[in-house]
Every structure is written in C-alpha cells, then in structure tokens.
Amino acid sequence: MKQFKTVFSFEFKGYLKNKVFVGVTLFLVAVIAIVMFFPRITSGKTEDPGVGEAPVMLICVLPDPPDSVVTEAQADGAETLFGAEFAEYSVTRATSEEELKNLVGSGEAECGFVLHGFSSFEYYVKDLSMYDQNGMRAENVIREFSYVSALLNAGVSPENAGALVGSEIKGETVALGKDQSQNFFYTYIMIFALYMVILMYGQMVATSVASEKSSRAMELLVTSVDPVSMMFGKVLSACLAGLSQLVLIFGTAAVCYNFNSEYWQDNFIIGSIFNIPGGLLVYMFVFFILGFLIYAFMYGAMGSTVSKLEDINTAVMPVTMMFIIAFFVVMYSLTSSNPDNMILTVCSFIPFTSPMAMFTRIAMSEVPPAQIALSIFILAASVAGVGFVSARIYRVGVLMYGTRVRLPALLKNLFKG
Amino acid sequence: MIIEVNNVNKSFGAKKVLRGISFKAEGGKAFGLLGRNGAGKTTTIRIIMNVFRPDSGEVLLDGDPIERFGARIGYLPEERGLYPKKVIIEQLVYFAMLNGMEKKDAVSSCDKWLGRLGMSEYRDKKLETLSKGNQQKIQLITAVAHDPRIVILDEPFSGLDPVNALLLKDVVRELISSGKIVLFSSHQMNYIEEFCDDIAIIRNGEIALCGPLDGIKRSYPRDRLVIRSKDYERIAYEFRGTTTLGKSGEVMLTLPSPEDKNTVMKNVTEKYDVDEIKVFEPTLNDIFVEYAGGKRGENE
C-alpha cells in the first residue's frame, strides 16, 4: 500500500509538472469560459443601437391575375397584416418589384416580400440565414388572410371569422419516462468526453510504461516495486489527472453558465446540458471512472510489451480498435430512433462497452435498477480482474526486450511467474 | 548475514537458463559472479531479487526464504537508466521511498550521497543534462541510498573514468566493511580480483567453478616458476625444453614435479642474478578463460 501511494503521488505530480498537460488544461478552461460568456458579450453590443431602429421589411403587392388591379385597401391590408406578424421589423411598402429588389440588394432593407395577390409570393433576402423562418411565417399570414376573406365572403361576421381562424390550440407533451430530446445532449457529451479522455490518457499510460522500459528505468523499478502497486498507481493517478482536468473544464463551464444563464435562456441545448439531474450525474461519474480504468489498465499492459516508443501505436491498436467499435455501437444506438435496442442492451453488460452503453440506456430510457446494479457489478469486478491481469502482463512484458512481444507468447508466459 | 542460493533451476519456454545454481555469499565480503554474456548471471540476480520465481530451488537469507520487498536489496543494473526528463533529487527520493524509506529520511540520505559523490550541484537538474559518467553516479545512489543489506552491482565500473572509478572503489570498500553482502558481476577481472574473496563462474547456466579465490588459485599445480632476471636468456638455455619466455626479462619454468620447486629456486638464485622468483599463480583472467570459455562455452 505504501508503494502504491508512492507510485501514485510520483506519477500524479508528474502530470502536474507536465507543461503540455497544464497548458492544454488552462487553454481549454479559457476557451470554455469565453464561449460561456459569448452571448453576454454579443448581446451587449447589439442592444444599444437596436432600440428604435428595427430592420426594414418591404412588401410589394402585385395584382393576381396580372391584368387585374390592386386596390389601396388590399395593399394596406397586407401591410397591416405583415406588420402585425413581423413585429420585430419595420414593415413598409415598396412601390415596385424593382425598387424592392434594389433596396434589399443594397442592404438598405433587410428583406422583402413580393405578393402576387394572395396566392403566391417571392421572398427576397440578401443572405439567407439557416434559421430564417420568414417565408413560412408569411405563408401562414397569407393563408390566414385568405381564410378570413373567404369566411367574410360567405357572410360570417368579422368577429366570428377572426375567432375561428385565430383560435389557438394548446398542446403539451409529458414524458413519463425519459425525455430523450432533453437527455440526448449530455449523453452525447459524456460519451464523447469518455471517448476522448480514454484515448488520450490510455495513450499516456502506455507511453509512460514504454518509456520507462526504453530508458531502462524499468530495470530498477521492477526490482523495487511489485507490479500491482506499479500498475494501479500509474492508472489511478492518470484517472485522477483526467478527472481533475474534466472537472476543471466542466466546472468552469458550469460556473460561467450560471453567471450568464439569463443570456442562454433561449438555447435549448445548452440549457439541457446544464440542467442534468443529480442522479444521472452520479451514474456518469461511476461509469466514467470504471470505464476509464478498464481501458487504462489494458493500455498500460500493452505499453509494457514494446521496447521502443515507436512501436507503441501498433501495440495499443487492438485496445483502441475495441474501444472505437464500442463507441460506434453506442453512438449508432444513441442517434437511432430506439436507443434501448437489443444490441445496446447486450452491450450494457459487457464490461468493455457497458460504461458507454449502460449510461446511454439510463439516460435515454427506463432501466430496471437490478440491471444497473448488475452492470456496475460486472464492470467493477472486471476492472479489478483486468487490473491484476495487466499487472501480470506488465511483470512479464517489462523484462522482455528486443522485438515486440507477441500477445500469444505473452499469454503463454503469463502465469508461469 | 549470509545469502544462500540452493540448487536453483529456471527455464524460459524450452530454454533452460539456469541448471542447479548454488552458492553462498557472506556479509562483510564481496562475492564475484562471473560468466560470459548470456551465461545466466542476470537471471540469477533477478531470482535473488525475486523478480522471477525459480522453477525449483530456493534463495535463503540467514536461513529464511528471501522476502521480495523486505530484504532491502540495492541494485545497480547493468543496463543503466532512470528518468531522463525528471529532476535528479525527485527520482532519487522516489526510488529510496519505493525501497521502504520515509520521505524525510530519503531526502537526507540522497543529499548525503550526492555530497559524497560530488554531485550536489546537480541536485535540482534534470538527469538528461548530465554526462554519462555522472549519470552513472546518480544511478549508484539509487542502489545505496536506502541503506540496503545486500548490494548487487552489475558491471559497476563500466563507463567510469579512472577518477570516478577510484571514488567507486572507496564506496565499495566502505559497503564491504560495513558488513553488507556485496554481489559483484563483472567482466573486468581486475576489479573482481581486487574486491572479491569468493567467486562463482557460471557457464551455460551451471556453476563451473565456485569457492574462495585464494583457494582456487592455490588449487592449481604449483609446478611453474616465474623468474625475472637480466640473465633470463641464460636461464632459458639451461632449462631448455621446459621454459617459455614471458614478458621481456621474464622466463617461465615448468618443473618435473611441484616438490622440486624449493631446490630449483635455491639453485637458480645462487647461480644467476635474480630480481624476482615466485611460484606461478594463474590470474583470475586465466581462470575465467579456462572455465567460462572452453568448448561448451564456444557454442553459446
């Protein structure tokens, strides 16, 4: 235990003294803080000149059919209707289609509608935003207007006609289980974070073992430390380093979000991420740590099989491959219409996929507590098992120099001491 | 304190690396473990240090099976290497702590050794900034800082300049006189001869020769005389047929039997102007070549 503590603190201090590690962490913290402050900064700028000077929307009503005439009342009506619908614009009439196009083209007006009677229209805008819904809104305005006109023509009183057309229907969806659209984003983020952190730290653990071997510090280490303390010390310190990095980054994000939450109110995605339920956060933590450990042990073991740092990528390939496949299975299920499918259910009990798979299931559907407990139990037991096997591989692997140790040969020697 | 290696066997796969290795090393004495490359020296050392378990046989310290981490062994591996990118004092303290020291004691002991070896100025530097010889000295500290009871030095003198070699000799003498078991493994026979009272020569995983160096030397037939004289050519002529010329001014004389040596010595000193006459004793180098080499050795 004393040796484990010594290894753990030496390795952890190694991370804290690693300039790249510290630099990247600080950089990410700064970036996330800037991102979280972004709406406050931008809204501050647009608010001042924004008052009183709404962007201009032009409308131009053309006769339909072309040989008919547009009455002043019709044109006024259209202007009033659009003005009511597009309150954020200052709606004015253009004298001709040409003038409208010119003004929109030169940027003096933001956008414009050319109406052909009330049956068709063209929407003019200089740069069409992805989120521009003016066309759709205009359609509704025009449809509503033609309904009212038709009702009036049929002898319905204006009040009744207005009430008929304008009656609003209130609908509300209540999810008794999980709201998948609500949970989707943090599930996605957790799985992505797990993916990145495991790949990054796994590689770091493997490199750390391999570089001790290639620098021959191993000769001394292997005679001074028992492999279990060594392996667990290394992997757990990497886990703590990774976790503190994430806590720092997401913690900064959460603090900055709370500080700026009023500016983020409209953003459904960000809102849902920062309103993650506490229970789910605990599960995230548990699966994150266990998932990290099981892969980090395997990376460490693989690192011990190479003599040269160059060979490390080839050596860790099987582990990386397995992890990427697990990642894609989970991602596929997450984005499919039924996240609680058969494959994901099976994967949620296999220790190498369960950290991501079970978390996804918990977040996206109702999972019986017994299943969750079983999954965590299998995973935790596997972490311990993989940890000890890794320590053995490490013990055998670290003293084998020369060509890369092949896995079958290694496994053969594994339990011979 | 005594360490006993009893009939140790070890195979890696189909290859038998050690076959019935046995020897004893006592505290306060240095023991030389000799053998050609690949003979099994490092494997023997690793079994003593419990990195490998032997297939059969045992290693006893004062009669009890040696404990892996309780035995306090200091080890200077042949393949030198520490953490090149870490600060020297940090890694020295790390290794001392791994070997059971408390942090405070580890720091003071490492500082003491840095001072002793004239390395204090590098205390807070990274290892990679040091010359190879200085890195060796740092490595030596990892073997002794935790005050081990058994010190295993694998090729301790390789790569050291004469001044540093002298410094290391002092350290080794000090270790021996403080009652520790010092296990030497080296190809440099002169150092072994200088320090070791007992030796074992391993050939192809077997003990080819083992015992006190003195006794081994005396066990050779004492039927050869080495004579240094300005009249060496005349001596060679008188005993022609039984002499070989050595270095300039020296002649070696093989006697019909060892019993004749006193008579012949007397005759020669009376007749010629002799600077030195002595019974020929093989050097460790000769013994090594004879036992570690040989036909079986060639096949390695």
Model ipTM value:
0.80
What span, in angstroms and rounded, lies between the C-alpha atoms of A212 and A14? 13
Residues of chain A with pLDDT > 70: what percent? 93
Q: Closest partner residue to B68 among A221, A226, A417, by Cβ?
A: A226
Give the tokens for residue B168: 């290391």
Residue with tokens 């984005």: A335
pLDDT tens for residues A48-62?
444 557 888 998 888
What value does the CA radius of gyration of chain B take, rounded to a whole number of Å? 23
Structural domains in chain A? 56-166 (3.40.190), 177-414 (no CATH)
pLDDT of the residue at B255: 86
Q: Closest partner residue to A220 among B12, B69, B142, by Cβ?
A: B142
DSSP characters for A67-100?
A: TS---HHHHHHHHHHHHHH-TTSEEEE-SSHHHH
How far does B227 lie from chain A, in Å, by closest CA?
48
* C-alpha closest to that of A303 among A223, A385, A233, A213: A213
Average pLDDT over chain A reads: 84
Give the tokens for residue A140: 């509704």
Strands B274-279 and B243-245 turn out to be unpaired
Supply φ then ψ for residue B133, to 5 degrees: -60, -40
Q: Do A215 and B46 touch (CB under 8 A)?
A: no
| Apex B19 CA angle, B15 and B20, nearest 5 | 160
Question: What is the mean pLDDT of each successive set of 10 residues along chain B, which is 300 residues long?
Answer: 91 86 91 88 88 88 80 86 90 92 94 93 93 90 92 88 90 92 87 89 89 86 87 86 81 86 88 89 84 55
Q: State the pLDDT confidence band at A309, using cuts at 50, 70 and 90.
A: confident
* C-alpha closest to that of A298 among A278, A275, A273, A326: A326
* C-alpha closest to that of A323 among A190, A189, A197: A197
| Other Cβ atoms within 10 Å of B67 Cβ, number | 11
pLDDT tens for residues B39-88?
888 889 988 988 888 999 999 988 888 876 667 889 998 888 889 889 99
CB A6 within 8 A of CB B98: yes
- Map residue B199 onto helix, strand or coil: strand
Strands A56-62 and A90-93 turn out to be parallel
What span, in angstroms and rounded, lies between the C-alpha atoms of B300 and B297? 6
CB B14 within 8 A of CB B180: no
Q: Write out the residues of chain B at the interface with chain A, using a CB-CB cutoff of 8 A.
A: 12-13, 46, 49, 51-53, 68-69, 73, 75, 77, 79-84, 86, 90, 94-95, 97-100, 142
pLDDT of the residue at A393: 86
- Cβ contacts of A20 on chain B, cutoff 8 Å: none
Residue type, B75: Y
Residue type, B257: S
* C-alpha closest to that of B158 among B183, B128, B185: B185
What span, in angstroms and rounded, lies between the C-alpha atoms of A395 and A58? 78
pLDDT of the residue at B296: 40
Half-sphere exposure of B117 (CA within 13 A, CB side): 27
Q: Do B69 and A220 touch (CB under 8 A)?
A: no
What span, in angstroms and rounded, lies between the C-alpha atoms of A114 and A124? 8
pLDDT of the residue at B114: 95
What span, in angstroms and rounded, lies between the C-alpha atoms of B262 and B279? 10
Q: Do B46 and A399 touch (CB under 8 A)?
A: yes
pLDDT of the residue at A47: 46
| Apex A263 CA angle, A262 and A265, nearest 5 | 65
Kindly tell me the number of DSSP H helices and DSSP E strands found in chain B: 11, 14
| Helix-, strand-, coil-residue percentages of chain B, each rounded to 5 | 40, 30, 30
Q: Closest partner residue to A6 among B53, B80, B97, by Cβ?
A: B97
For residues A126 and B248, the model is more confident at A126
- Map residue B15 onto helix, strand or coil: strand
Q: Closest partner residue to A224 among B81, B83, B95, by Cβ?
A: B95
- Cβ contacts of A212 on chain B, cutoff 8 Å: 83
Give the DSSP letter of residue B256.
Answer: S
pTM for this entry: 0.76
CB A225 within 8 A of CB B98: yes
Residue with tokens 């081990």: B148
| A7 has pLDDT over 60 | yes
Residue type, A141: V
Which chain A residue shows the shortest CA-CA distance from B78?
A219
Give the tokens for residue A201: 């730290």
What span, in angstroms and rounded, lies between the C-alpha atoms of B143 and B146? 8
How far does B214 lie from chain A, in Å, by closest CA?
33
A9-26: average pLDDT: 91
Give the tokens for residue B198: 């007992």
Supply φ then ψ for residue A271, to 5 degrees: -60, -45
pLDDT of the residue at B299: 41
Give the tokens for residue A207: 């490199």
- Map residue B244 onto helix, strand or coil: strand
- Order of all β-strands in the sheet with B181-185: B73-76, B150-154, B181-185, B30-35, B196-203, B206-212
How far does A217 lie from chain B, in Å, by closest CA?
4
pLDDT of the residue at B23: 93
Q: Distances in Å between the alpha carbon of B85 and those of A228, B81, B91?
A: 25, 11, 10
Q: Closest partner residue to A220 among B52, B84, B95, by Cβ?
A: B95
Count of positions (residues) in chain A? 417
| Other Cβ atoms within 10 Å of B265 Cβ, number | 18
Strands B2-12 and B15-26 turn out to be antiparallel
* C-alpha closest to that of A291 among A157, A174, A201: A201
pLDDT of the residue at B295: 44
| A157 has pLDDT over 70 | yes
- Cβ contacts of B69 on chain A, cutoff 8 Å: 3, 224, 226
B132-144 helix and B103-116 helix, angle to the nearest 10 degrees = 140
- Cβ contacts of B90 on chain A, cutoff 8 Å: 10, 13
**Three-state SS across B176-189?**
HHCCCEEEEECCCH
Give the tokens for residue A360: 């996804």
A95-109: average pLDDT: 88
pLDDT of the residue at B176: 92
pLDDT of the residue at A215: 83
Which chain A residue shows the shortest CA-CA distance from B72?
A224
Which of A3, A11, A215, A220 has the most B C-beta neighbours within 10 Å, making it the best mutation to test the interface with B? A220
pLDDT of the residue at A50: 47
pLDDT tens for residues A186-224?
788 888 888 888 888 899 889 988 888 888 888 888 888
pLDDT tens for residues A79-99?
888 888 888 888 888 888 889
Of A37-41, A42-46, A361-365, the poorest mean pLDDT is in A42-46
How far does B290 lie from chain A, in Å, by closest CA?
31
Q: Closest partner residue to A3 among B49, B81, B98, by Cβ?
A: B98
- Sorted by sequence, the CB contacts under 8 Å of residue B236 that are 6+ apart come out as B243, B245, B251
- Map residue A141 onto helix, strand or coil: helix
> In what helix (H) or strand (E) does residue A49 lie, and over which residues does it extend?
helix A19-50
A315-329: average pLDDT: 89
Residues of chain A with pLDDT > 90: what percent? 19
Exposed/middle/buried for residue A36 (C-beta within 10 Å: 0-12, 13-18, 19+): buried
- Cβ contacts of A412 on chain B, cutoff 8 Å: 13
| A363 has pLDDT over 90 | no
What span, in angstroms and rounded, lies between the C-alpha atoms of A279 and A367? 13
Q: Distances in Å between the alpha carbon of A219 and those of A100, A134, A346, B47?
A: 82, 72, 43, 13
Q: Closest partner residue to A6 among B73, B75, B94, by Cβ?
A: B94
pLDDT of the residue at A45: 52
